Amino acid sequence: MPIELPVVEKILSANDLLAAENRRLLDAHGVTAVNVMASPGAGKTSLILRAIEALQGRLRVGVVEGDVAGRVDADKVAETGTPVVQINTGGGCHLDAPQVQSALRQLPLDEIDLLFIENVGNLICPTGFALGEHINMMISNIPEGDDKPLKYPGMFSEVDAIVLNKIDLLPYIDFDLSAFRTAVRALNAEAPIFELSCKTGEGLEAWVAWLSQQRG
């Protein structure tokens, strides 16, 4: 008969432990957090700015901006009067839970209903790191091409919602919408796909309605 000894199983990583702490902090303050992931230039900040505009007077928004360097996006958000914190990863290709924890300490959480966490522009690295978020969403976009689900299956398969941005460019770019939808569905049976343009505003309403529902 084997000797009894302590067996330790399913250890959470340091990042997961801190992500769970972030989640408890967000819940305690009644904040719903959305992790926004995408390639560089897909329209993460544009979409967040559109949401701030559309939700005015209904939900109070806060933003955490993640970038390798700079504060271009945080400045744009700050101009709207929305509470925002910039994280610079200094070369890191994704946000992590400790970085978000530091950011949360700088935000007036009791005055925020919906917190956007804009991840670093990258279709690969961010999927491996929980931040404490309630919802994971990604933005794909027309100029990026319809083959992205085939090349970056990790992100497409794990998110709760997919925005396909820049549909105003469809007349000028070869993009097979049906091929894109089929490739997404092969990876992710559930996530709604919102086809929209942050530039023209087309299609935004459905995404904002979905977002408001997530808030519950």
List of residues contacting its own copies (CB under 8 A): 39-41, 67-70, 72, 91-93, 120-125, 141-145, 147-148, 150-154, 166, 168-169, 172-173
- Whole-number minimum distance, CB 188 to its own copies, in Å? 15
134 contacts 32 by C-beta, under 8 angstroms: yes
Smaller CB distance to its own copies: residue 107 or 138? 138
Nearer of residues 32 and 119 to its own copies, judged by Cβ: 119
92 vs 203, which CB is nearer to its own copies?
92
Closer residue to its own copies (CB): 152 or 194 = 152
Closer to its own copies by Cβ: residue 70 or 108 = 70
CB of 167 to its own copies, least distance (A): 12
CA–CA dist 132, 152 (Å, integer): 23
| Shortest distance, position 117 Cβ to its own copies, whole Å | 16
Gap between the Cα atoms of 214 and 36, Å rounded? 14
Token digits of residue 47: 């979409």
Q: Any residues with CB less than 8 A from the CB of 71 and at least 6 apart, and which?
A: 65, 86, 88
Shortest Cβ 22–its own copies spacing (Å): 23
What whole-number distance in Å separates Cα of residue 63 and Cα of residue 185?
30
- To its own copies, the closest distance from the beta carbon of 211 in angstroms equals 23
Contact yes or no for 86/67 (Cβ under 8 A): yes
| Residues 161 and 194: beta-carbon distance below 8 Å | yes
